[in-house]
Amino acid sequence: MADKTLNEIRSTFLKYFEKNGHKIVDSSNLVPNNDPTLMFANSGMVQFKNVFTGLEKRDYKTATTSQKCVRAGGKHNDLENVGYTPRHHTFFEMLGKFFIWRLF
């Protein structure tokens, strides 16, 4: 398999799920709005928190995203490993697919 750029990987992922009925949802802000529990978005599901808790409804049942994330503390803290391995960074994009609305 030929090497792919970040943009090619992201595009291939999102287009695959769009072709299979998922709505492509843009990355939310890196600093979450109206969520004092988080300094940064640390996963793809952060922007759907109000949907999961029933506070918000969306006009689609399945979604796919490429969410910008930072992990610099808490349960998923990558900060301590930065510089020690070639794969640990504090900023990354998390590719995700979401079916959670089918549960309600």
Q: Domains (ranges, CATH) in the chain?
A: 6-103 (3.30.930.10)
Predicted local distance difference test score (pLDDT) of residue 78: 67
Rounded to two decimals, what is the model's pTM?
0.81
**From the centroid of its chain, how far is CA 83?**
23
Given strand 63-70, what is the order of strands in its sheet? 23-25, 63-70, 91-98
C-alpha span between 56 and 50 (Å, rounded):
5
- pLDDT tens over the chain, length 104 residues: 689 999 999 999 999 999 999 999 999 999 998 888 888 898 999 999 988 888 888 999 999 999 999 887 667 666 777 777 777 777 889 999 998 765 54
